[in-house]
Homo-oligomer: A and B are copies of this chain.
Amino acid sequence: MDTRELADRTRRFVTEVVFPVEREIVADSRPMDDALRLELQKAAKEAGVFGPLSPVQYGGLGLDTRAQAVVLEAAGTSLIGPLALNCWAPDDGNIHLLAHAANATQAERYLAPLASGEVRSAIAMTEPAPGAGSDPGMLRTTAEEVAGGWIINGAKHFTTGADGAAFVICVARTEDGPTMFLVDKDNPGFRVIRRMPTLDHTSAPGGHCEVTFTDCFVPDEAVLGEVGQGMEYAQVRLAPSRLTFCMNWLGLAVRAQELTARHISGRESFGARIADHGMAQAQLADNEIDIEASRGLILRAATAIDEEGAASSPARHLASVAKTFVSEAVWRVLDRAVQLHGALGVTEDHLVARFLVEARAFRIYEGPSEVLRWSIARRVLRTHR
């Protein structure tokens, strides 16, 4: 099937199957739970749109990055569309990472059920101060080698998806450098303290959690890839993951623009349709410009990934640029959508209110704009020295 057709089918699925569920859970102010997720994923499989990011051998569609761009935008038109398709954080990145670094045994045990949606996963990188936040160099969680395995000790927060995840990928400092470990949820040394009260609660079934690893023993087979390669793997995970974030969230901006155009077409004030007021049109046009520019940046970064590899310098540069711009553009679009809805825009009767609140974290997670700008500037300076 060609990409455009798959994207259209995805959009149709999301519109017909996911939108009604979304309205319900937003109205009830409750997050996605796993029962709902599994039900939607079943429907997505039947519709032939499940797993756009997952390898074909694990039941996914195995799309290249450019195809992902259009399909994930369609998926993202609902806050919970990407969950229905299994292309949402942190599982999207974890699938990618496992496909890259897991050995055959690990792949069977962790990747297969994750790719099929049978289980969820989590990624435990970020730590409370003075540990690793935006700066991964500040990593404090440790893994000490012992007979037959490792003992992990440390505290993490913003462990996305941890509540209810079947396993957690934990980054810890070893003598040979940062290393990734696969930790099962029922490991007695692992504990989910609480879901943090983050603004993005609708779209995150497992929350963003505080977790601890306390004398947490894992066997040697729990090492993901090679010891000491944790930071490299984090990069492997990050470049495409930043971009899928962009694709998904751009979909939400597109949806907000549709809702807004329809809303202001049907309402009057001061003797004219709101849609005929110049100031409303200016905002609609600015939204369109932000959306189209976002598409352009995503497409260019996707092309660089497909043609030069996700680890290539152009791909990483363009992914940083795209993440910075798109996260800010989506925010502007949603904010204008709220404004154009008037007072209704700040009630959760209209989805745009929830969208705006939910999206705030996008400018921070996976690299805050400031850190990305810093890295973009350094690359510019290196190039034009």
Instruction: State whether B280 touches A197 (Cβ < 8 A).
Output: no
> Which residues of the partner chain B approach A357 to less than 8 Å between Cβ atoms?
199, 357
A196 contacts chain B at the CB level, 8 A cutoff: yes
> Which residues of the partner chain B approach A267 to less than 8 Å between Cβ atoms?
129-130, 133
Smallest Cβ distance from A91 to chain B, in angstroms?
Answer: 19
Whether A346 contacts B199 in the complex (CB less than 8 A), given A269-B138, A380-B284, comes out as: yes
CB contact list, A277-329 vs B, under 8 A: 277-282, 284-289, 292-293, 295-297, 299-300, 318, 321, 324-325
A376 contacts chain B at the CB level, 8 A cutoff: yes
The distance in angstroms between the C-alpha atoms of A209 and B102, with both chains bound, is 55
Instruction: State whether A197 touches B339 (Cβ < 8 A).
Output: no
A215 contacts chain B at the CB level, 8 A cutoff: no
Contact with B along A252-272 (1 / 0, CB 8 A): 000001100110010111100
> Which residues of the partner chain B approach A288 to less than 8 Å between Cβ atoms?
321, 376-377, 380
> Which residues of the partner chain B approach A293 to less than 8 Å between Cβ atoms?
293, 296-297, 321, 325
The distance in angstroms between the C-alpha atoms of A380 and B257, with both chains bound, is 9
Count copies of this chain in the complex: 4
In the complex, how many residues of chain A place their beta carbon closer than 8 angstroms to a beta carbon of chain B? 82
A343 contacts chain B at the CB level, 8 A cutoff: yes
The distance in angstroms between the C-alpha atoms of A130 and B272, with both chains bound, is 12
A113 contacts chain B at the CB level, 8 A cutoff: no
The distance in angstroms between the C-alpha atoms of A384 and B363, with both chains bound, is 26
The distance in angstroms between the C-alpha atoms of A68 and B212, with both chains bound, is 49
A112 contacts chain B at the CB level, 8 A cutoff: no
Instruction: State whether B300 touches A133 (Cβ < 8 A).
Output: no
Instruction: State whether A373 touches B281 (Cβ < 8 A).
Output: yes
Closest-by-CB residue of B relative to A350 is: B197
Contact with B along A335-369 (1 / 0, CB 8 A): 00011001101111100010011001101110011
> Which residues of the partner chain B approach A345 to less than 8 Å between Cβ atoms?
364
The distance in angstroms between the C-alpha atoms of A134 and B370, with both chains bound, is 25
Is the contact region of chain A dominated by helix, strand, or loop, or is it mixed?
Answer: helix
A383 contacts chain B at the CB level, 8 A cutoff: yes
The distance in angstroms between the C-alpha atoms of A377 and B129, with both chains bound, is 23
Contact for A295 among B295, B296, B370, CB less than 8 A: B296
A29 contacts chain B at the CB level, 8 A cutoff: yes
CB contact list, A161-205 vs B, under 8 A: 196-200
Contact with B along A107-132 (1 / 0, CB 8 A): 00000000000000000001001100
A–B pairs, 5, beta carbons within 8 Å: A197-B347, A199-B353, A262-B384, A286-B373, A346-B364
Would you list the 6 A-B pairs with minimal beta carbon distance, nearest first? A278-B278, A296-B296, A281-B377, A285-B373, A261-B384, A197-B348
For the A-B complex with A129-B267, A135-B269 known, give 16 more contacts whose Cβ atoms are closer than 8 Å.
Answer: A130-B268, A261-B381, A265-B384, A277-B370, A278-B281, A279-B279, A279-B373, A281-B378, A284-B377, A287-B380, A288-B380, A292-B321, A293-B321, A299-B299, A339-B370, A353-B360
